Amino acid sequence: MTAWDLSHFYEPHVLCYHRELDHQNGHDNVRVFVRGWVAFLSCENDLLMIRVTQPHMEGYCQQDHQPLTFASSFPRLLNDVVMVSWPEVGRRLAAVSGEVSYPNRHIDLLDEVNVFGFTMELSEVNITSESGSLGAPLLDGEGNVVGVLHGGNGRFSFFISLGDLREVLNQWGFILAVPA
């Protein structure tokens, strides 16, 4: 399946932090979302990228939306990491910290039945997560992305590994800057 195929039955809508605040302080009676587009898709790595175009953002929010940076290396075992998620509408910026329990387990060693044929490696962290948090970034102690939430088993959470993220983003034509 391609991003184009997916666009026929999935229309992502994005709520930015500022418009969420506008809703909470009463400026927006209802939450206002902006239309996004599936720009890239990697079925084997369970990743997709949603793009929001500049013309859409001009009519939606004029404030800065700072991009996250990616770490150059994954933290060591037992180092602290933080997941920042938005598990459901209204519960913005739910942050939870934990420790790295293993950096890269191949998905075949975790899922007894890998029905979707995923091929990525997953980083294991001793935090719990909710299903609505899928796609949440995992950050290291310096605030750099080191993983993206794939799922959990009620005790540990599993994040698409930094190596897989870098590889997929390179395939999509993005060259990641390494933090200074």
Chain residues binding Zn ion by CB under 5 A are 16, 18, 61, 63
To Zn ion, the closest distance from the beta carbon of 85 in angstroms equals: 18
How far apart CA 135 and CA 98 sit, in angstroms, is: 17
CB-based burial label for 162 (10 Å; 0-12, 13-18, 19+): buried
Q: Which is nearer to Zn ion, 21 or 178 (CB)?
A: 21
21: its two tokens: 């605040």
To Zn ion, the closest distance from the beta carbon of 14 in angstroms equals: 10
To Zn ion, the closest distance from the beta carbon of 57 in angstroms equals: 8
Tell me the CA distances in angstroms from 101 to 19, 67, 88, 122, 126, one per residue in order.
Answer: 36, 27, 27, 11, 6
Q: Which is nearer to Zn ion, 64 or 112 (CB)?
A: 64
Q: Which is nearer to Zn ion, 18 or 166 (CB)?
A: 18
Tokens 């991003």 locate to: 3
95: its two tokens: 């942050």
To Zn ion, the closest distance from the beta carbon of 30 in angstroms equals: 16
Q: Which is nearer to Zn ion, 15 or 146 (CB)?
A: 15
- Among 175, 172, 145, 173, which residue's Cα sits nearest to residue 160? 145
